Amino acid sequence: MSGPQTNDDIDLVIVGAGLAGLYMLHSARGIGLNARVFESGSGVGGTWFWNRYPGARCDVPSLEYSFGFDEALQQEWEWTERYPTQPEILRYIDHVADRFALRDGITLDTRVLSSHYDEPTSRWTVTTETGEVVTARFVVMATGCLSAANVPKIEGSDDFAGEIHHTGHWPHEGVDFSSKRVAVVGTGSSGVQSIPVIADEADHVTVFQRTPAYAVPAYNQPLDPAEVEQVKADYVNWRTVARRTATGFGGHARSGEMQAALDLDPDARAAVYQERWEYGGLTFLGAFNDLLFSQEANDTAAEFVRGKIADVVDDPTVAARLSPDTVIGCKRMCVDSGYYETFNRSDVALVDVSATPIERLTETGVQVDGVVHDVDAIVFATGFDAMTGALNRIDIRGRGGVPLTEKWAAGPLTYLGLQVNGFPNLFTITGPGSPSVLANMIVAIEQHVEWITDLLERMVADGVTEVEPEPQAESDWVDYVNLVASITLFHGCSSWYLGANVPGKPRVFMPLPAFPEYKQKCDEVAAAGYEGFILT
Ligand code: FAD
């Protein structure tokens, strides 16, 4: 008779086999824990397994976007480009899984449906979609900040006769857009990356834009062997530096952070922006230290980018539509390869849906303001229910059977973005309230995994059964995150950092914009015997 299997020998269940889940498994094994990973996808890689859309690549340089925990790994892996493509990152992650012999601890094609805490036994019961039931002392949610796709609910979706894709769930076999008219909905990072590539292939592309993006050129290129040699000779130091910078970048952070934009006269300031623009990438926003704190300073950077858009885009009306008037950096900046230039093509059209949203899909296309734009395929580049989406899609219940969704009804509450009061022995990697998406995420992941591993090792050694945050520590932390966010300009637009892209989601600023200070705080908490945590 087939029925639910049970397995009571597990110390730790890890949900998710992206970068975070893999490193957590490796680390847990390193301290002798019996750990099991459940992953809903049919392969490892997380973000880089799912996001196979045309043009998908990382906007952190490859030499930075890689694990630093193992010297041999970082020496042996050869990146080919300044910004790695999705296939190259996925190859890297597969290599990590093989190199550290992780695959036998991972169950693929298995979505975790629920995780319930049993107070008498101090164990979590984890149930999967395939009917497996496992109990474990610890649970680590390595479910990803950007893994729960946000597919907009648009009337008439079932009526559309063509194909519909979301960039975050791209078919493995790829999509053939040749001879097709394609609609791309959304102009965040995934839209900015995919639109130029889709336009190269398709017959015609119509871009539906609600909010224009600020994009800085990538100037992607093959890696210079001399640079690689130089970095590898000093990799350990690079990684140390990365953990001390606000962005989690080691060598590419660049100087300038100590200078205020408003301290320079307009010409000198423009020269700094120009130099950053020519260097390319996300370091543009690090040109000055007041860009995310002073509206006046921010305006100077925004104006510079708008000038660049006007230079590139031939039609002034289209250029104006593509030019954001919001705070630069309060939404995640995009790094592009020919994005603005794409709108000079005669086979690319821009439809502004800020004032008149998409009304419905019809059998033949996308209807806006009574006009149907006929297309053969629709690509939703509409992003994710970020940071809390993947967690809230699991039925997580802590002490007294309280659901996490209930505890987080008004927005996420955590201590250090690592744990939630009432949910003992359950950890989140890059959870809300930690720097996460505001830093180079692989650096944030390593810091979290190592911190959690140290705590688990200590608990096992000292015979500690449970750990959870004190209620006061948690509420003080939430206040602190809000305070830090409130002195920045991050509230200046409707971003996914605030949950504004998902209808009905509480508007709470979720990541903490202070990576080095955060790391220091985590270190101090641990050094003080895990201050703010109750160890039972
Ligand atoms: P993920 O890679 O998201 O992995 C989480 C895994 O958990 C997924 O495989 C998912 O299937 C699985 N999962 C979730 N829920 C369940 C469940 N209930 N049951 C079983 N499995 C589950 N970060 C940067 O620092 N720089 C970048 O340039 C950058 N570019 C990005 C580009 C895109 C298109 C996207 C989407 C993200 C990007 N990110 C970037 C963020 C990226 O998510 C992180 O860098 C990193 O890959 C996160 O790893 P992770 O393991 O924490 O989460």
pLDDT range class, residue 395, cuts 50, 70, 90: very high
Tell me phi and psi for residue 19, to 5 degrees.
-55, -40
Task: Give the mean model confidence (pLDDT) for residues 297-307.
Answer: 98
Q: DSSP for 134-150, please give it.
A: EEEEEEEE---SS-SB-
Kindly give the residue spans of alpha helices, DSSP state H, lying in 78-165: 86-99
- Cα(290) to centroid(ligand 1), Å: 30
The model's pTM is 0.97
Ligand 1 within 6 A of CB of 139: no
* Ligand 1 atom closest to Cα of residue 384: 36
DSSP letters spanning 188-223: SHHHHHHHHHHHHHBSEEEEEESS---EEE----BP
- From 112, 146, 187, 333, the mutation candidate for ligand 1 (largest count of ligand atoms within 8 A of CB) is 146
Give the type of residue at 152.
Answer: P
> In this structure, what token pair is assigned to residue 509?
């600023």
Strand ranges (DSSP E) for 52-157?
106-107, 112-118, 123-128, 133-141
Which atom of ligand 1 lies closest to the CA of 167? 34
Query: Within 10 A of 489 (CB to CB), how many other CB atoms are there?
Result: 20
Domains present along the chain, CATH in parentheses: 5-44+102-148+386-535 (3.50.50.60), 181-380 (no CATH)
- H or E segment to which residue 346 belongs: none
Integer CA distances (angstroms), 61 to 19, 221, 281, 330, 513, in order? 16, 11, 9, 21, 20
- Nearest atom, ligand 1, residue 128 CA: 19
- pLDDT category at 363 given cuts 50, 70, 90 is very high
Pocket test for ligand 1, best of 147, 391, 501 (most atoms within 8 A of CB): 147
DSSP string, 25-45: HHHHHHTT--EEEE-SSSSS-
- Which residues, at least 6 apart from 94, have a Cβ–Cβ distance to it below 8 Å? 43, 44, 45
Task: State how far the Cα of 515 lies from the Cα of 388, in Å rounded to an integer.
Answer: 20
Cα-to-centroid distance, 142 and ligand 1 (Å): 9
Task: Please name which of 60, 524, 508, 451 lies closest in space to residue 247, comparing C-alpha atoms.
Answer: 60
With a 6 A CB cut-off, is 282 part of the ligand 1 pocket? no
* Residue closest by Cα to atom 53 of ligand 1: 144
Q: Is 67 left (phi over 0), alpha (psi -120 to 50) or beta?
A: beta
Mean pLDDT of 491-506: 91
Give the integer Cα–Cα distance in Å for 367 and 205.
Answer: 15
- Tens of pLDDT, residues 431-462: 999 999 999 999 999 999 999 999 999 999 99
**pLDDT tens digit string along 61-116?**
999 999 999 999 999 999 999 999 999 999 999 999 999 999 999 999 999 999 99
Tell me if 440 CB under 6 Å of ligand 1.
Answer: yes
Is 134's C-beta closer than 6 angstroms to any atom of ligand 1?
no
Atom index in ligand 1 nearest the CA of residue 394 equals 18
| Cβ atoms < 10 Å from Cβ of 325 | 10
Asked if 474 and 378 touch (Cβ cutoff 8 Å), the reply is: no
- Residue matched to tokens 């509450």: 413
**Within 10 A of 321 (CB to CB), how many other CB atoms are there?**
18
pLDDT in tens, 100-115: 999 999 999 999 999 9
Residue 143 CA, closest ligand 1 atom number: 7
